[in-house]
Each structure stands twice: as C-alpha cells, then as structure tokens.
Amino acid sequence: MYRIPLFLLLITVLFSCKQVDKKNAPPIASETMKTDSIPLVYPEEKHFKSLRQVTFGGDNAEAYWSFDDRMLVFQSNYDQWGVGCDQIFTMERTEVFDSLRPPMVSTGMGRTTCSYFMPDNKHILYASTHLVDVECPEVPLRKNGKYVWPVYDSFDIFVADLEGTIVKQLTHEPGYDAEATVSPKGDKIVFTSDRSGDLELYTMDLDGSNVKQITDALGYDGGAFFSPDGTQLIFRASRPKTEDEIKEYKALLAQGLVQPTEMELFICNADGSDLRQLTFLGNANWCPFFHPSGEKILFSSNFEAERGFPFNLYLIGTDGKNLERVTHGETFDAFPVFSNNGKYLAFSSNRNNGGTRDTNLFIAEWKD
C-alpha cells in the first residue's frame, strides 16, 4: 500500500493549483526554534548541521525531492488547506508554510498517496482512488483488536503536470497499485501491486510499459527505493512464517488489510536478484532510503520501543553492520529522504507540535 496512511501516523474537476504569495511567507532561518527557545536539533543528533520546520499543522509526510533538488512533493491531510483526506502538494525547498497553503497538484478527489517527481522536474506521479469514488474512502484502523493498514483496491498510479492536470494513467490492472518511486537514473519506476494475489514489487518504464515482477515471497513488500546508481532496491516487508501467521495474513489481505507491526528491511538488485534480508531487529522497520554513498540505509524503526513508540531514524550499512541511531526523539521521526546532491534530508516528525498529533515536515542540512 502507500508507505503509510498519514491519518495513522499516531496510532468534481481537476484542481488547478494557485501559486503561494511568497512575499508573505514566514522568514527562513538556518535553524527554526521551538517556542520555548529550545533548538529543534537534539544534542545527540550529530548528523544535523541545522534543521528547519516547513509545515505547521495536519499530517504531512512522504516529501520527495525533484531531480534538481529545487522542489519537494508531499502529501497532507491538513483540514485548514481545504482537504478531507490526503492530497498532494508541492513546495520550493526554501519555503515555509505556516498559514498559507502550498500549491496542490492532485485532483482533490478520492485519497491520494506516494507522490514522486519525474526526471523532467515538470511532472509528478502519485496514486489515487478518485476513479472509483470522488469521496475519501473509509479508514479501518483495527481488525479483531489489532492495528491494520487499508490496502485500497481503487488505487491506480497517475502522472500529472505541476498545474495539477493528469496527463497519463500508468496502471490499469484491477486491485491495488501504489507506492511508486523513480530511479535516480530516470529510466524505471518501482511500485507495489497485488495483481498476483499478494503484495509484491514490480518495475515498469516511465510510460507504464515493460512491467516486471521483482519479488514473489508471501508477505507485504512495499516502500521500495532505488540506490543512487539505480542498480539496487531497498524495501520493507512482512514475512509470515507460521501456519497461524500465514492464515491471518491471507485473511486480512482478502479484506484489503495488512498488519504492519512486524516488518524488516530487504535489499536486492533492481531486477530482483540477490535478494537478502538486511535487518533482524524486530518490531516495525520501514521507510528505508539509501544514503548518498549507496553504502548505507537510513530508515525509521521502533525496535528499541517497548510500547510501539517512539520511532527514530537509524543508519545501517548495506552489509547489515554498523547500526547507528540518528534521531533521539520521544515520539515519531520517519520518512527520511536525502536530496540528490546529498546536502539535505527531508523527514517527518512530531517534534515541536505543541503536544498535538500533528506530523510536520522538516529539512535538515546533513553532515556525515
């Protein structure tokens, strides 16, 4: 499914976007301060040279860089921006959105997720349910007392320009198609689909052709990203093993649900070969992204938590060694994404939200 629905972070006509009045935007600081004058960067967070908060309300996540690192595209459900559930927005890297709404590039219909820039920096792709229903789909949170994610079979993947006009539909198969990201080489898209009867990874060309299945093990394979040179994929997966686990997984999937509380990271070549499990940490390890060197993975995990929280960011080598904790929050840090030039890291966090459940976007200047 989409990498995670924003409404679960804390357990019409096509819309033509309106440009934000940058003259009235809040000033940009090298490091935004909390209201009590405590820096956003915690003392142990040595990889952050500075940190800016760029959204201030709602659930904002999955911010991905344009190929030229000038812009980001992300999803938000912030009701003050006039949306009923997750929609797709763009922003310049230097902008901050406190009271103003950024340009929306999705239709405003259905639920959307998993946006990503195309190589020309002029188009984005994202998944949407709007062809089946213009209203937001219902959101199951628990099944038989257990935390679940919905896997909407109405999701398909679309390409839109930066004015919000859909120019192409990339997937047409029945069932779930989402979680699409583009190779830094600019030649391939990886996405998750249940067209085989299970949630597997697939690749396709930028025009939706030449679809190839990459994984085939039972379990939920999703949230995949290419390495900087485009030769490898990193993703998160569940792997039910016992008879009871397999029975439960299949029963939930038949209802359009998955249980994401036990996931590990896997790595393979871009064609699916040389697949191996990277982490063996327990709990939920997810939203991995390659370090610019291609030799490390940055990801979010709650493996050190006793009751599900906090989630923090960690680095691990592609050989599974040298695990290092990067963030030191007490709530939620996730969706880390490096800029293509390796200078910046965008991620989502509950820090500095005034005790609310808001999840905001932050941009750090990164240092190794």
Percent of the chain residues topping a pLDDT of 90: 83
How far apart CA 227 and CA 181 sit, in angstroms, is: 11
pLDDT tens-digit profile of 141-190? Answer: 777 778 899 999 999 999 999 999 999 999 999 999 999 999 999 999 99
Is the per-residue pLDDT at 28 higher than 80?
Answer: no
Q: Can you give the pLDDT at residue 279?
A: 98
How far apart CA 278 and CA 316 sit, in angstroms, is: 9
The one-letter amino acid code at 34 reads K
The one-letter amino acid code at 138 reads E
How far apart CA 98 and CA 133 sit, in angstroms, is: 31
Q: Can you give the pLDDT at residue 142?
A: 73
pLDDT tens-digit profile of 210-255? Answer: 999 999 999 999 999 999 999 999 999 999 999 999 999 999 999 9
How far apart CA 250 and CA 238 sit, in angstroms, is: 12
Q: Can you give the pLDDT at residue 123?
A: 98
pLDDT tens-digit profile of 329-353? Answer: 999 999 999 999 999 999 999 999 9
How far apart CA 322 and CA 2 sit, in angstroms, is: 29
- Got the DSSP string for 318-331? TTS---EE----SS
Q: In order of start, what are the domains of the chain with their CATH numbers?
A: 6-18+31-366 (2.120.10.30)
Q: Which two tokens stand for residue 365?
A: 């200047």
Is the per-residue pLDDT at 38 higher than 70?
Answer: no
Is residue 90 a contact partner of residue 75, using CB atoms and an 8 Å limit? no
Q: Can you give the pLDDT at residue 141?
A: 74
Phi, psi for residue 243 in degrees, rounded to 5: -60, -40
pLDDT tens-digit profile of 270-291? Answer: 999 999 999 999 999 999 999 9
What torsion do the CA atoms of 115, 118, 120, 124 make, to the nearest 10 degrees?
Answer: -30
Residue of 301, 237, 313 whose CA lies nearest to 272: 237
